[in-house]
Structure 1
Amino acid sequence: MPVTAYQRKVLIVAILASFIAFLDGTVINVALPAISRELGGGLAGQQWVVDAYLITLTAVILLAGSLSDAYGRRRVIFWGLIGFGGASILCAISPTDEFLIISRGLQGLAGALLVPSSLAIIISNFDGPKRAKAIGQWTAWTSTAFLAGPLLGGVLVDYASWRFVFAINVIPIAVTLWLLRGVYAEPPRPVKPKIDYRGAVLGVFGIGLPVFALIEQGRLGWGNPIVWGAMVVGVAAFAAFIVNERRVKQPMLPLSLFTVRNFWVGNLATTFIYAALSLGGFLLTLFLQQVAGYSATEAGLASLPSTIISISLSTLFGTLAGKYGSRLFMAIGPVIGAVGYVMLSQVTPSANYLTQVFPGTVVFALGLTITVAPLTAAVLGAIDPERAGIASAVNNAVSRVAGLIATAAAALIVGDALTTEGFARGAIVTAVLLTLGGVVSAIGIQNAKRPVKV
């Protein structure tokens, strides 16, 4: 049965909503030097302009997913867009570095409303093979944010002002709000939703504080009481959050989700795969600049094949996963990606792009593209659409925290200073993590399972 005009409109809204949030996570990096020159703040200020967005987005994403399930995807996306637009304007007019950092934190809060709801609205309006294909299209188009971000940011900074990096968000937000008018609001739920406020607070601190510690340890070190204190309090808050969710009648995160096989197996695979993605990408970018002598632009362009392959093939593999099931693609995709990093582990200090970097990058990108859309389809397709918001939020939180842990562990893997030998070790560890993700998927993922109501 073909996709209807209404389903196409829903898919476009979902893609645009996610694109806006993902774009701001990548566009900011090229603007940091210009921001520092005008507003000051030094290196610490530059880091916090990036980290404020990441911390608030990750900390609030479970609450945002719960709100999406309770009050409807359309409503949450609407307020996420309004909030993101307002925060973007505040960023654009920031008179000081501190004002910009606070505004970036507000952007992260609004972004948390957009990401899980955009996937949840796809799950709610598509089913079967059409759902897998739609997720593939969502993956393909949102991947353009990683390509468009640095290029768009560079043009705006060079030919206008860094402030336009934020102000330009108003245009896609306005378009998405206009399209959202044609998306039906979900019918009221038979049982009036209640917000688990205690769980919400514990969840925000239980995720946000460890994320803060993982980010700041790179600057302050684990011996700093701010860092280890945040980690201790955060872990305690997360443990209290789990206890709370087991006891309340309408939990923010129903723990019964983790009794669904494809959901917990898929999230375990996500942990390995996204840890590898973050570790490998982080080390490769540093190696190309610090050891091989690439410029920042050249190092950024080195990842261009990955983005192009993702844009070109994600829809195809999403469609194939809908037809044949996700298991095969989740099993072989990470292993192909691992081969790519084994190839990259052989680079020499000169790192000739065409002969040493490009082949491994292409093989890795192919493996990742085979994996991502089927992985998302398997995890979210296993859960009843009524819980798609919180299920998407969990998967997003798992991927982000796994990436942060892997990046924080990079120094333990490569040593105090990145060398060719250290990068080779890191590349092999990346390959091992990817392989583990494939093995977990091959053993645990089940095809053709109906969504489970929990």
Structure 2
Amino acid sequence: MDQDITAPQSRRFVLVAAILASSMGFIDGSVIAIAIPAIRADLGATLAEAQWVSNGYLLFLSALMLLGGAAGDRFGLRTVFGLGIVAFVGASIVCAVSPTPLVLVVARAIQGSGAAVMVPGSLAIIAKAYPREERGRAIGIWAAASSLTSIAGPIIGGFLLTALGDWSWRLVFAVNLPLGMSALALLWFKVAPDRPEEGRRLDVIGAVLATLALMFIAYGLTGDGSESVPPLSHTMAWCGAGLVLAVAFVLWEWRSNAPMLPLRLFANVGFSGANGLTFALYFALAGIMFFLPMTMIGGWGETPATVSLSLLPLGIILTALSSFSGKWADQLGPGPLITAGSLIVALAFAGLGVIAPLHSVWLAVVPCIGLLGLGMGLVVSPLSTAVMTSVEDGDTGVASGVNNAVARVAGLVAVAMLGAIVATVFERGLGEAAELPIFFGMRTDGLTEGQEALRMGATDAAFAAVCYITAGLSLVSAAVAWLTLERKGLFAREPIGSPGPQ
């Protein structure tokens, strides 16, 4: 085990370890939405507690991701990456055996903290191990494996949940043990530690302020799970405190000598526009992907296997289109492609709202999911291009990290904010059945035909509300892309504030 991380003999072990670690994150991220109905049924979790299962993870991942990336440089990539895997796997085991929703939420928070180190470390350790002329091929292998796990994970998880019952959601987390231990074995026994950057400073105060700000806002919007919709006074007090902390975070980052969020980058309109549309579009995507499986499984009575298959076109079309859209972005600029993609995404979300009362998976949901894949396929690669070309070469790494963090913060806020809207619309839609113990996204036995009709109608109305809100945000993304990002050829217009040729 005395091979340096950059030695040719070590590189293949680094690559496999990075793929295994990334697979854990991608499987958890893609399967959890399908597993949420089973978690609620098995643990008796409320809608708000289900939101915290998602947001406990996203909160620490989004708030600590930039700090996690810097920690790898400061203390050594192999060491920090390995510690992230240990935290992620340990928390996954606690998730798998959780007896209550509270234990699961706490474990998910620890899992998110581990992921904040592990996720940026996956690409960073590949980039450090491989020379520049071989790096593209290695990252391509990593990306292909990541796409495969993202596509296969929900299908395998969906069929397991259908075949084994509600308890089998625990297997989604238990599978991380062999994956994580394999990655750790490769890192510890086949790869020597790399040299840390002793002078690198970590923005711990910024990380604490960002975490508390997001936590307070999420708690204000979601509550503690005891009520479907927290009182307005609760929301205003906690969200207000969160916003004060957010302002304190911005002021600290402005004055810090080593900020984890360099605010100077936002002086570029192209960079600001790319991150603004990222927030709006990924808010919309996270909202749909959280509430659609719950609607189909708990509301319509579909099996997890059916739901996982219905979502398959999204991953396939997105993966197939990404390489082409990246080339098209070089020719036309990212602006036109992201604008067109966002408009298609808006159409897909609006379509899901219109077809919700049909309860038709194959004739209604699947075509909309295919349309969503087409739209996102036109967005993902050009968005990376827009972020990278809007800053100077020396800032591309931190710019990419900021954009990833923005996307995850958007998901956190989406699940928290839309949950209150869903609960409100659902309860109003129940009408005379509102006094019964009926909850959004959960099957209820013993209802009369009329009560079941009210439950189904309320479910459709609540989900449609999510669809129309997210469609509107996707239109906002399209407008921001068109106005702020680079356009070439027939659409020629340089982005405002462009740093010029890279």
The answer, yes or no, to whether TM exceeds 0.5 is yes
Report 1:399-410 matches (<5 A).
399-407=407-415, 408-409=417-418
> Are 1:220 and 1:227, in contact at CA under 8 Å, matched by a contact in 2?
no
> Are 1:91 and 1:166, in contact at CA under 8 Å, matched by a contact in 2?
yes
| Residue type at the aligned position of 2:478 | G
Range with greater deviation from structure 2 (45-54 or 155-164): 155-164
> Are 2:26 and 2:146, in contact at CA under 8 Å, matched by a contact in 1?
no
Secondary structure at the aligned position of 2:259 is classed as coil
> Are 2:229 and 2:420, in contact at CA under 8 Å, matched by a contact in 1?
no
> Are 1:133 and 1:315, in contact at CA under 8 Å, matched by a contact in 2?
no
How far apart, CA to CA, are the structure 2 residues paired with 1:33 and 1:427? 19
Deviations 1:5-64, CA, capped at 9 Å, x for gaps? 9988766555443331232234456666776788x5654766654443333333333432
Residue 179 of structure 2 is matched in structure 1 by 172
Residue 262 of structure 2 is matched in structure 1 by 254
Residue 366 of structure 1 is matched in structure 2 by 374
Are 2:233 and 1:193 equivalent residues in the alignment? no
> Are 1:330 and 1:438, in contact at CA under 8 Å, matched by a contact in 2?
yes
Residue 80 of structure 2 is matched in structure 1 by 76
- How far did residue 169 of structure 1 move? 0.8
Residue 217 of structure 2 is matched in structure 1 by 210
How far apart, CA to CA, are the structure 2 residues paired with 1:16 and 1:262? 35
| Residue type at the aligned position of 2:470 | T
1:272 to 258, 280, 284: 280
Cα distance change on mapping 1:272 and 1:129 into 2, 3 Å: farther
Residue 61 of structure 1 is matched in structure 2 by 65
Cα distance change on mapping 1:33 and 1:271 into 2, 3 Å: closer
How far apart, CA to CA, are the structure 2 residues paired with 1:257 and 1:444? 15
Range with greater deviation from structure 2 (15-24 or 45-54): 45-54
Secondary structure at the aligned position of 1:349 is classed as helix
Cα distance change on mapping 1:265 and 1:117 into 2, 3 Å: farther
2:150 to 143, 161, 170: 143
Aligned residues: 448
Cα distance change on mapping 1:213 and 1:32 into 2, 3 Å: same
How far apart, CA to CA, are the structure 2 residues paired with 1:103 and 1:162? 15
Residue 25 of structure 1 is matched in structure 2 by 29
Range with greater deviation from structure 2 (391-400 or 201-210): 391-400
Residue 432 of structure 1 is matched in structure 2 by 472
Are 2:121 and 1:117 equivalent residues in the alignment? yes
Residue 398 of structure 1 is matched in structure 2 by 406
> Are 1:133 and 1:322, in contact at CA under 8 Å, matched by a contact in 2?
no
RMSD of aligned Cα (Å):
4.4
Report 1:333-372 matches (<5 A).
333-347=341-355, 349-372=357-380
Which has more radius of gyration?
Answer: 2
| Residue type at the aligned position of 1:118 | S
How far apart, CA to CA, are the structure 2 residues paired with 1:211 and 1:45? 12
TM-score (ref. length: structure 2): 0.72
> Are 1:137 and 1:314, in contact at CA under 8 Å, matched by a contact in 2?
no
Cα distance change on mapping 1:137 and 1:380 into 2, 3 Å: farther
| Residue type at the aligned position of 2:231 | G
| Residue type at the aligned position of 1:211 | A
How far apart, CA to CA, are the structure 1 residues paired with 2:36 and 2:338? 37
Cα distance change on mapping 1:11 and 1:267 into 2, 3 Å: farther
How far apart, CA to CA, are the structure 1 residues paired with 2:483 and 2:134? 23
Are 2:95 and 1:88 equivalent residues in the alignment? no
Range with greater deviation from structure 2 (197-206 or 48-57): 48-57
- How far did residue 158 of structure 1 move? 4.8
| Residue type at the aligned position of 1:433 | L
Range with greater deviation from structure 2 (276-285 or 198-207): 276-285
> Are 2:38 and 2:167, in contact at CA under 8 Å, matched by a contact in 1?
no
How far apart, CA to CA, are the structure 2 residues paired with 1:139 and 1:167? 19
- How far did residue 368 of structure 1 move? 0.9
TM-score (ref. length: structure 1): 0.78
How far apart, CA to CA, are the structure 2 residues paired with 1:183 and 1:383? 34
How far apart, CA to CA, are the structure 2 residues paired with 1:364 and 1:263? 25
Deviations 1:283-323, CA, capped at 9 Å, x for gaps? 54455457755445434432222123234443443455467
Identity over aligned pairs, percent:
33
> Are 1:327 and 1:442, in contact at CA under 8 Å, matched by a contact in 2?
yes
> Are 1:81 and 1:177, in contact at CA under 8 Å, matched by a contact in 2?
yes
Where does the alignment leave 5 or more consecutive residues of structure 1 unmatched? Answer: none
> Are 1:64 and 1:116, in contact at CA under 8 Å, matched by a contact in 2?
yes
| Residue type at the aligned position of 1:379 | V
